[in-house]
Structure formats: C-alpha cells, structure tokens
C-alpha cells in the first residue's frame, strides 16, 4: 500500500476515533441535561401546585381565624346574648360555605357565659349545657347539633391550644369516596384557650388541583399531610391511608427519604427506579401543602431514545475503524 494512502487512512482513523469519543461525551451530557430538565419541571410543577393549594386552603384558614377573633370579644357582648350571637355567626358562615361538612365552636365548660346548667340539652349543647354548637348545611337549609365527638379536653390534648389541621379522614357517601379534614383555631382570653372555632371541609379541591399536574403526559402528583396521610392520589383507594404503607410499592427503599421530608416539612428531590414495574425515574418536592410530583418513565425513555440516535453514528464509526485497521495491516 502506498504511503499516501496509508497516511490518509491513519488520519481517517484518528478522525473517526475523535468522532466516537465526541458522540460518547454528547450522550452523557444529553442524559444529564434531560435529568436536570425533568427535575426542574418537577420542582416547578410542585411549587405551582402547592401555591394553588395553599390559596385554596387559605379560604378555610381565614374563616376559622375570623370566627376565633370575633369570639374573643365575647366579654363585650351581654352574657345572655352570647350564644344567640355566636349561633347566628356560625349559621351565616355555613350558608357562605355550603360545601363544608360543618362549622363549629367548642367552648370549655362554663367559659362562655358561666350559664351552662341553664342551657342543658338545648340546641348546640350537651347534657351539661356546654356550648358545642356545630352547624351543617342540608338540602333543607342549615341546622345545628352538638359536636359531642370532639370533647374540649381531648381537642386541647391534640392541638395544644394552637392552630391545628387534623389528619384527613375518608368518608363514604353512597358509592363515592370522599376525604375531608378539619381546621381549628383557638379562642383565647388573656392567653388562655377558652374555646376552639373550626370548620370541616372536603379535600376535593386539592384532588382537582393534583389531577391537573401531568408532567410529560404520564406523570402525576400526590398530596400528603404532615402526618403522612394520603390526601390526594390518582388511585382513590389510597386516600386517607398512611403513606408508609400505601406508597411502598411506588418508592421502595426511597420511601423513608420521602416520609422524612413530609413529616419534617423539608423540600427534597431524588430519583429512584419504580418498584411496581413502571420503570423510569421519580422526582419529588414537598411544600405546604405537601405535594409530590412523579415523572414516570421520563428520564429513562428520553435518554434511551436520545442515546439511540447519537450512538448510531458511533457504531458505524467503530465498524469503519475495524475495516481501516484491517486494510492497513494488509
């Protein structure tokens, strides 16, 4: 073989090797960039969704705060008119929020007017006459009944006399699964909690927001309470369950990382293979309310298809190198 031909062949070999290396580097960088973009979108979607949910929750939070603030001025109302005045306020609140399961006030024994015994077994009281008025909206209009299931001492034990959101509860209405929670705000007198104002509400709004989050078409979002209960999920059978059990098939060994972030109120991002056979990577972020976005199959499928396109010329180059090497040896 002539020297000129050998020289051209040698240069071609080096060029092809360089192209192969460049293709390999490009594939690696492309995979990293795809993963980075996927994570960024998960964060963006979670932050946007969490902000929408925060605004949605805000309506009910402000309702209980307003009720509590007004009731804290109870000493300015004539003693015999306090119950009538507060019942009217609770009634108007449930009329303004007919979607809420209940609006209530839960006062400590004899704290409202010192006249519990005089009101025993009247509407909105129990056999002791304690003011535990709960208003509910029905097809025939608002009505009142005592909230016996929330003893004042028990509520104080759970809330510590501070603003509190109870863990979600699953309610079966006919054949429809509904999940609701209760928000309560303390009523204080000179720093001492004398009562609690609260409102119950379904989390259908949270579920509706979560359902709009579909990153790359096949992703979805979950919502967890700070205690780890599932508040919104595309699988309705998981609603109200403890995420430590219900989400193990999804997150596997990464579940503890997610649980820690949820219960401590931290933000976290991680990737992990799907345990239930879906494949792909998971990216999650938690804000208030706690929201987790899953991008299913995204990182793996895109990087694989991108890699296929980039590695085709590399394979061809490698075959060419073998051919040229064989020619030079002749």
Q: Is the pLDDT of residue 328 over 60?
A: no
pLDDT(67) > 80: yes
pLDDT grade for 78, boundaries at 50, 70 and 90: very high
Mean pLDDT of 125-132: 95
pLDDT digits 0-9 by tens, 195-248: 999 998 888 888 888 888 877 676 778 888 888 888 888 888 888 899 899 988
What's the rounded mean pLDDT across residues 11-19?
68
Cα(93)–Cα(245) distance, rounded to whole angstroms?
Answer: 38
**pLDDT value at position 145?**
93
- Written in H, E and C, the secondary structure of 121-165 is CCCCECCCCCECEEEEEECCEEEEEECCCCCHHHHHHHHCCCCEE
Alpha-carbon dihedral angle through residues 26, 27, 33, 38, given to the nearest 10 degrees: 160
Q: 258 - beta bridge partners?
A: none
**The domain 8-56+204-330 belongs to what CATH superfamily?**
PAS domain (3.30.450.20)
Per-residue pLDDT band at 270 (split at 50, 70, 90) = low
Q: State the average pLDDT over residues 91-105.
A: 92
Q: What are phi and psi of 99, to 5 degrees?
A: -75, -15
Q: Say if 8-56+204-330 and 72-202 have the same CATH topology.
A: yes
Per-residue pLDDT band for 130 (boundaries 50, 70, 90) equals: very high
Q: Distance of CA 224 to CAs 212, 247, 278, 285, 321, Å? A: 17, 11, 21, 11, 56
- Percentage, residues of the chain above pLDDT 70: 70
The pLDDT assigned to 93 comes to 95
The total of other beta-carbon atoms located within 10 Å of residue 118's CB is 11
Place of tokens 């919104």: 232
Better pLDDT: 166 or 279 = 166
| Rounded Cα–Cα distance for residues 300 and 38 (Å) | 11
Q: What is the pLDDT of residue 221?
A: 80
Distance CA 27, CA 21 (A): 10
pLDDT digits (tens, 9 = 90+) for 149-164: 777 887 887 778 888 8
Average confidence score pLDDT of the chain: 76
Q: Residue 278: what pLDDT?
A: 47
The domain spans of the chain are: 8-56+204-330, 72-202
d(CA 179, CA 205): 11
Token code pair at residue 151 = 């003893």
At 330, is the pLDDT very low, low, confident or very high (cuts 50, 70, 90)?
Answer: low
Q: Given this model, what pLDDT does residue 8 score?
A: 61
Contacts of 250 (CB under 8 A, 6+ apart): 274, 275, 276, 282, 294
Between 325 and 115, the more confident residue is 115
CA pair distance 75, 88, nearest whole angstrom? 17
Q: What is the DSSP letter of 227?
A: T
* 120 has pLDDT over 90: yes
Closest CA to 228 of 167, 157, 160: 167
Q: Provide the pLDDT for residue 193.
A: 93
pLDDT at 309 over 50: no
CA dihedral 35, 39, 40, 42 (to 10 degrees): 140
Domain 72-202, second-level architecture = 2-Layer Sandwich (3.30)
Within a 10 A sphere around the Cβ of 240, how many other Cβ atoms?
23
pLDDT at 131: 96
The pLDDT of residue 286 is 41
pLDDT in the model for residue 285:
44
Q: What is the pLDDT of residue 124?
A: 94
């Amino acid at each position: 073989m002539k020297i000129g031909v050998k020289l051209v062949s040698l240069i071609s070999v080096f060029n092809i090797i360089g192209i192969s290396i460049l293709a390999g580097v490009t594939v690696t960088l492309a995979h990293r960039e795809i993963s980075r973009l996927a994570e960024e979108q998960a964060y963006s979607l979670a932050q946007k969704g969490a902000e929408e949910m925060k605004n949605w929750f805000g309506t009910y939070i402000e309702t209980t705060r307003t009720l509590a603030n007004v009731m804290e001025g109870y000493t300015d109302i004539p003693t015999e008119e306090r119950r009538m005045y507060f019942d009217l306020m609770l009634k108007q609140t449930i009329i303004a929020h007919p979607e809420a399961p209940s609006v209530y006030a839960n006062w400590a024994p004899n704290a409202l007017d010192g006249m519990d015994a005089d009101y025993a077994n009247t509407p909105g009281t129990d056999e002791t006459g304690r003011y535990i008025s709960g208003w509910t909206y029905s097809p025939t209009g608002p009505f009142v009944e005592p909230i016996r299931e929330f003893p004042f001492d028990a509520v104080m034990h759970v809330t510590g006399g501070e603003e509190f959101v109870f863990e979600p509860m699953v309610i079966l209405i006919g054949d429809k699964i509904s999940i609701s929670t209760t928000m309560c705000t303390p009523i204080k007198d000179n720093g001492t909690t004398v009562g609690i104002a609260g409102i119950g509400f379904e989390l259908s709004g949270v579920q509706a927001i979560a359902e709009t989050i579909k990153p790359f078409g096949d992703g979805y979002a979950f919502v967890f309470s700070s205690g780890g209960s599932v508040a919104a999920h595309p699988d309705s059978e998981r609603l109200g369950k403890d995420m430590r059990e219900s989400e193990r098939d999804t997150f596997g060994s990464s579940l503890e990382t997610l649980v820690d972030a949820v219960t401590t109120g931290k933000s976290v991002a991680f990737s992990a293979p799907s345990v239930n056979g879906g494949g792909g990577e998971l990216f999650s972020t938690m804000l208030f309310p706690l929201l987790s976005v899953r991008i299913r199959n995204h990182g793996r499928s895109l990087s694989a298809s991108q890699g296929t396109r980039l590695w085709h010329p590399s394979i061809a180059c490698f075959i060419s190198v073998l051919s040229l090497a064989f020619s030079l040896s002749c």
